[in-house]
Amino acid sequence: MSPSASASTTLSAPSPRQIRRVAILFAGGPAPAANAVISTAASAFLRNNIEVIGILNGYAHLVEYGPEHAMREGRDYMVLNQKALRRSRNTRGIMIGTARTNPGKDVSHPSHLTDPKLTGRLRTVHEALASLGVDALVSIGGDDTLKTANKFKLYQDHLPADAKRIAVVHVPKTIDNDYRGIDFTFGYFTAVETLANEIRNLLADAEATRSYYIAECMGRSAGWLAYGAAIAGEASLALSVEDIDQGLSAEETLTDPRTGVTSTRKIMDVAKLVDLMVRAMLAREAEGKEFGVIVVAEGLAQYLPASYFEGVKFDEHGHISLAQTNLARTLVKAVEAEYKKRTGKTKRLTGLQLGYEARCALPHAFDVILGSQLGVGAYRALVENNLDGVLISCSGQLNLHYVPFDTLVDPDTLVTVIRFIQTGSDFHRLARFLENYPHD
């Protein structure tokens, strides 16, 4: 469903409200052009005599609010005025900081929203913002932050009729570009170009040394970043979670040691993946190319057999630390062994992880323009359209759309629905057309 179609069929504006003060909050991993969103959103509100404060470090300080931790300027929030915003649109980093604190982690079903204990952290966030006189919240972040924004709205929907309401809109952010409801997220193309440049450098090195690199790119849930960087960087092969069902999947049976209950989970058939990579290498050799760069999305690590996860940590949103699994290094050893088995020769492979260097890269013009429009869209949604509980989206010639939260979140689990690359789509086919993919 397109963003415009979603908005036109389900949006309904609440009764008019007056907004005097707005809070802007950024959560999750950084992305290029973050400050373009923050700066233009704040400027739009200020231009219309609405005060703006920037909540520092995501939800980290809001969940600490209480009798002994009142919200304090400089520590928990900053005033965003014209002086603070001066020439900030094109800058690196995030002027208000970020964090992965998850105030809605105890709420995983609609029934939990009436439980005072499970909604305790959401209540604290509401009380903290109310103590600052905030009438609306602009949430900026990835799918987990959208999930939190939706829970914050739903929590307020269950408050007494005379309780203070804080409208919330969300600006989608992720270099992974795996957001349902928008074509491309701000920062994606800057991140793609940053990683593509790294891949081009690796490719030159690989050619000079007749070797291979396996480059693991960020992309927890989908392969947009890995595929984009591979296409722009002229990589030899790109693989992501979308490719698992294309003959690379298997099943693993696990037994819970506490309950004795067994269950099955879909995993990646590592042997088949390694076979695919070696066949790609041999196909290149047949063309006189003894080098290359293979790009894999980090999300593939989630489909490794359970034995690979011993001692690996999880974050507040329940995600495994993919950086700790080091998928690239794991694949290097397996590919080296299989290549030698088939050819009798030794091929040097090097595994490395790419991604962090792209998150705060200097934003490209397109991402600054897109981020700026989304920032202005937050103002338009709240003030001009009097909306609540919508994602700010752009399509076409950066036309703004407002997509209701409930079309983007699973109604039973309250988890955000991920947008994968459609296998067989023209974008997917482009990558396959440009690489030495060993078709059967």
| Mean confidence (pLDDT) of the chain | 90
Give me the percent of the chain exceeding a pLDDT of 70: 91
Average pLDDT over residues 117-131: 97
User: What is the 8-class DSSP label of residue 83?
Assistant: H
* Position 107 pLDDT exceeds 50: yes
* Position 307 pLDDT exceeds 90: no
* Position 440 pLDDT exceeds 70: no
Give CA–CA dist 271/397, Å, rounded.
45
pTM of the model: 0.87
* Position 19 pLDDT exceeds 60: yes
* Position 11 pLDDT exceeds 80: no
Split at pLDDT 50, 70, 90, the class of 9 is very low
* Position 17 pLDDT exceeds 80: no
Average pLDDT over residues 75-83: 96
Average pLDDT over residues 317-332: 72
* Position 1 pLDDT exceeds 60: no
Query: Residue 283: which residues within 8 A CB-CB, separation 6 or more?
Result: 436, 438
- Phi-psi map region of 87: left, alpha, beta (phi>0 left; psi -120 to 50 alpha): left
Average pLDDT over residues 307-324: 60
pLDDT at 12: 46
Q: 125-129, 189-193, 319-323, 338-342: which range is least confident on average?
A: 319-323
Split at pLDDT 50, 70, 90, the class of 431 is confident
CB 194, CB 415: distance < 8 Å: no
Split at pLDDT 50, 70, 90, the class of 8 is very low
- The neighbour count for residue 440, using CB atoms within 10 Å, is 5
Q: What share of the chain is helix, strand, coil (3-state, %, to 5)?
A: 40, 20, 40
Split at pLDDT 50, 70, 90, the class of 436 is low
- The neighbour count for residue 8, using CB atoms within 10 Å, is 11
- Phi-psi map region of 311: left, alpha, beta (phi>0 left; psi -120 to 50 alpha): left
Split at pLDDT 50, 70, 90, the class of 140 is very high
Split at pLDDT 50, 70, 90, the class of 325 is low
Q: Whose CA is closest to 233, among 261, 260, 206?
A: 206
pLDDT at 406: 92
Structure-token pair, residue 53: 């404060």
Question: To which residue do tokens 């296998």 refer?
Answer: 423
pLDDT at 268: 85
Domain annotation for the chain: domains and CATH numbers: 3-185+363-407 (3.40.50.450), 188-359+423-434 (3.40.50.460)
Strands, E assignment, 225-384: 237-239, 249-255, 262-268, 292-297, 349-354
pLDDT per position as a tens digit, 272-293 = 999 999 999 999 999 999 999 9
pLDDT per position as a tens digit, 201-260 = 999 999 999 999 999 998 878 899 999 999 999 999 999 988 887 788 888 777 777 777
Give me the percent of the chain exceeding a pLDDT of 90: 73
> Which neighbouring-strand residues pair with 409?
416
Split at pLDDT 50, 70, 90, the class of 115 is very high
Structure-token pair, residue 166: 């804080």
Give CA–CA dist 201/350, Å, rounded.
14
pLDDT per position as a tens digit, 380-402 = 999 999 999 999 999 999 999 99
Average pLDDT over residues 424-433: 87
pLDDT at 358: 93
